[in-house]
């Protein structure tokens, strides 16, 4: 499947899931229905073509199957995965699948995080995170072609594709960086197109719970809070801020933690919102740990880490970057 065909196919996949708009006349509805059926038929044929190269155990719905086959065929070719066993989580932006690895990984299971086609199209305020970040290509190297950079700036459909790819590449590159720096993150194995293969954090087939679903004893809560702070500091030492850190993006297994979900990672230098985003991360972490009996001062913890790494605290925030839906942001607004 070439790039153009793939794009077409993604459009169809998006439409097939999202074409719920109300139409005026009955005739328009019928026309839309028939062209939808036509697209579905074409998509199904294509899925069949790919499935000759790669089959898996998980019984997916028809569109999901086509999407999985297309996303994972290359990873299977390269022995990162041998089989898809089941869907662990389905999200708005990405879904996580439990897979059996191929010969390239020595473990019982791996996780494949697969982004929905152009999922980030709906991402609110992604510009805020991208300030000061160089966009990356599918190999994780900085984009150098002016045409690509211009396409992103102009938001052409090709540009959106490049931007989407850059977002995924950031997640993978960050996991590689942090893993090498000794942070508690799943081991990243491979990235191809819209999928990342990484260590599966779980007990046998059972995925580890998110920290927010776990009640900790007092001593363990204190120990894990310190561990999260330690990880946040490792991130800072690597010039990275998580950007969406909370007990929802920390997994808990055997008394330890793993930080996950890095596409929105922020660079402290060159992003005027960096301090605020960093403080928001720490506030959310403290929100959880306070419910577990840990006395923590989010501002002080964040400020100590931040200044110890040589950064200045810049309190001024452009109101454009505040999210009224977010209690932590509202708190910050009240403080102003």
Q: What does the binding site for Mg ion look like in residue numbers (CB under 5 A)?
A: 249, 261
Q: At closest approach, how far in Å is the CB of 171 from ligand ATP?
A: 8
Nearer to ligand ATP, 92 or 336 (CB): 92
Instruction: Please count the other Cβ atoms lying within 10 Å of the Cβ belonging to residue 336.
Output: 9
* Distance from C-alpha of 319 to C-alpha of 182, rounded to nearest angstrom: 36
Give Cα separations from 139 to 16, 78, 104, 170, 220 (angstroms).
30, 15, 18, 10, 40
- Applying the rule CB under 6 A, the residues between 140 and 199 that interact with ligand ATP are 186, 198-199
Give me the 112-131 binding string for ligand ATP, x by CB under 6 A, dash otherwise.
-x------------------
Residue 83 contact among ligand ATP, Mg ion, none, beta carbon within 5 to 8 Å by kind: none
97 is a contact residue toward ligand ATP (CB under 6 A): no
Whether 116 contacts 106, CB under 8 Å: no
Chain-centre distance for alpha carbon 238: 19
* Distance from C-alpha of 185 to C-alpha of 175, rounded to nearest angstrom: 7
* Distance from C-alpha of 253 to C-alpha of 207, rounded to nearest angstrom: 9
Give me the 276-305 binding string for ligand ATP, x by CB under 6 A, dash otherwise.
------------------------------
Residue of 102, 132, 140, 202 that binds ligand ATP (CB under 6 A): 202
Segment near ligand ATP (CB under 6 A), from 34-42, 51-59, 147-155, 200-208? 200-208
Give the chain's end-to-end CA distance (angstroms, integer): 53
- Applying the rule CB under 6 A, the residues between 233 and 272 that interact with ligand ATP are 249, 260-261
89 is a contact residue toward ligand ATP (CB under 6 A): yes
Return the H-helix or E-strand segment holding 142.
none
């Amino acid at each position: 499947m070439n790039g153009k065909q793939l794009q077409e196919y993604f459009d169809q996949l998006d439409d097939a899931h999202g074409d719920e708009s109300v139409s005026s006349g009955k005739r328009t509805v019928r026309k839309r229905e028939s062209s939808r059926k036509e697209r579905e038929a074409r998509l199904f044929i294509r899925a069949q073509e790919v499935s000759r190269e790669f089959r898996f155990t998980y019984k997916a719905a028809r569109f999901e199957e086509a999407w999985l086959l297309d996303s994972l065929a290359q990873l299977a070719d390269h022995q990162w995965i041998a089989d898809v066993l089941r869907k662990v989580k389905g999200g708005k932006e990405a879904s996580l699948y439990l897979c059996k690895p191929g010969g390239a990984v020595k473990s019982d299971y791996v996780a494949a995080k697969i982004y929905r086609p152009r999922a980030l199209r709906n991402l609110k305020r992604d510009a805020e995170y991208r300030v000061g970040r160089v966009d990356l290509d599918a190999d994780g190297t900085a984009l150098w072609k002016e045409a690509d950079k211009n396409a992103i700036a102009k938001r052409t459909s090709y540009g959106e594709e490049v931007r989407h790819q850059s977002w995924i590449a950031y997640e993978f590159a960050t996991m590689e960086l942090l893993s090498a720096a000794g942070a508690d993150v799943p081991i990243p194995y491979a990235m191809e197109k819209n999928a990342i293969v990484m260590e599966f954090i779980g007990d046998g087939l059972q995925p580890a719970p998110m920290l927010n679903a776990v009640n900790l004893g007092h001593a363990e809560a204190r120990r894990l809070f310190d561990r999260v702070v330690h990880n946040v500091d490792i991130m800072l030492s690597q010039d990275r801020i998580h950007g969406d850190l909370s007990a929802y993006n920390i997994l808990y297994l055997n008394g330890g933690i793993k930080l996950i979900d890095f596409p929105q990672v922020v660079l402290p230098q060159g992003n005027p919102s960096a301090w605020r985003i960093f403080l928001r991360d720490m506030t959310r972490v403290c929100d959880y740990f306070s419910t577990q009996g840990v006395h923590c001062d989010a501002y002080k913890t964040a400020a100590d880490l931040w200044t110890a790494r040589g950064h200045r605290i810049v309190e001024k925030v452009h109101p454009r970057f505040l999210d009224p839906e977010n209690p932590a942001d509202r708190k910050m607004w009240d403080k102003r």
